Amino acid sequence: TIRVHGSEVAEMPLIGTRFQYRRQGMCRSLMGALEEMLKKLGVTRLILPAVPELLETWINSFNFQHISPSERLELIGLNLLSFPGTIILQKFLAPQQCQLIKVV
């Protein structure tokens, strides 16, 4: 599930992989495609509520980071989903680069 809030913030409140498909790179493929799509839409930040057991995976493998209290205040007007026991993480997405083609 992806929820886009305006033009700058997207939220991924739920993500999971079926047991038989784990450790095959499916989440990595999904996240790569999702991030590219969001960049094309101009979204600059992806928000994720992480369960404590997967916190290190999101931080170390997918480059998410903890959200500061001041950054959390910036999001207060958005209707973000939050679940008991989760930790809100964020990832800043680099803007989509336009490729210049030299015409000769």
Here the tokens at position 41 are 């839409």
pLDDT tens digits, one per residue of 80-89:
887 889 999 9
State whether residue 21 is helix, strand or coil.
Answer: helix
Q: What is the value of pTM for the model shown? A: 0.81
Statement: residue 101 has pLDDT above 80: no
Statement: residue 35 has pLDDT above 70: yes
In sequence order, the β-bridge partners of residue 70 are none
Rounded to 10 degrees, what is the CA torsion of 16, 17, 23, 27?
-60
